[in-house]
């Protein structure tokens, strides 16, 4: 099981604007620790953490943050409409379009996805795969 995912950022305030434009709508709560960002799903008393958590941090080595070639973090939305709404919100908050929301021939008929780059250049996917919604072929 993946416990957490971390991406680097040189401008934490800019990253906060971007990620806070869509992660709270997916249920994530923001906690800032030592100037870095920690997004986690709420936990009821006595319950184990809902994993994975998502962190945005300045690199520990003091060097500029860089993106991983081929690396991507995907967040599941509740519906195709939410994918569209959150993709637009993330763009308005400083993100960059990497693929408008829609179906892709390479994926299953109900996999609806939009791609973004955060202000640092990390690739983010917002997707829904609800089989109760219209699919690619219908």
Q: Does 33 reside within a domain?
A: yes
Give the structural domain span for 75: 4-60+71-128
* Alpha-carbon 37 to chain mean position: 13
Residue 1 banded pLDDT, cuts 50, 70, 90: confident
Question: Residue 71 has what pLDDT?
Answer: 93
Pairing of strands 73-76, 96-103: unpaired
Name the domain count of the chain: 1
Average pLDDT, the chain: 95
Question: Residue 138 has what pLDDT?
Answer: 65
Residue 137 banded pLDDT, cuts 50, 70, 90: confident
Q: Does 47 reside within a domain?
A: yes
> CB burial class (10 A; 0-12, 13-18, 19+) of residue 111?
middle
Q: Does 75 reside within a domain?
A: yes
pLDDT (mean) for 27-37: 94
Q: Which of 107, 102, 101 is nearest to 86 (CA)?
A: 101
Q: What is the pLDDT of residues 90-118, one digit of tens each?
A: 999 999 999 999 999 999 999 999 999 99
Q: Does 117 reside within a domain?
A: yes
CATH number at residue 42: 3.10.180.10
Distance CA 21, CA 49 (A): 23
Q: Does 77 reside within a domain?
A: yes
Whether 75 has a pLDDT exceeding 90, the answer reads yes
Q: Does 85 reside within a domain?
A: yes
């Amino acid at each position: 099981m993946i416990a957490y995912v971390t991406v680097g950022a040189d401008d934490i305030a800019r990253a906060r604007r971007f990620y806070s434009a869509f992660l709270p709508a997916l249920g994530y709560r923001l906690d800032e620790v030592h100037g870095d960002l920690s997004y986690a799903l709420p936990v009821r008393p006595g319950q184990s953490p809902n994993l994975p958590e998502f962190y945005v941090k300045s690199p520990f080595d003091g060097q500029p943050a860089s993106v991983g070639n081929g690396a991507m973090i995907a967040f599941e939305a509740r519906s195709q409409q939410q994918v569209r709404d959150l993709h637009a919100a993330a763009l308005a908050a400083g993100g960059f379009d990497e693929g408008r929301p829609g179906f892709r021939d390479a994926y299953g008929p109900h996999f609806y996805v939009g791609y973004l780059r955060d202000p640092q250049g990390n690739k983010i996917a917002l997707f829904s795969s609800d089989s109760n919604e219209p699919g690619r072929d219908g």
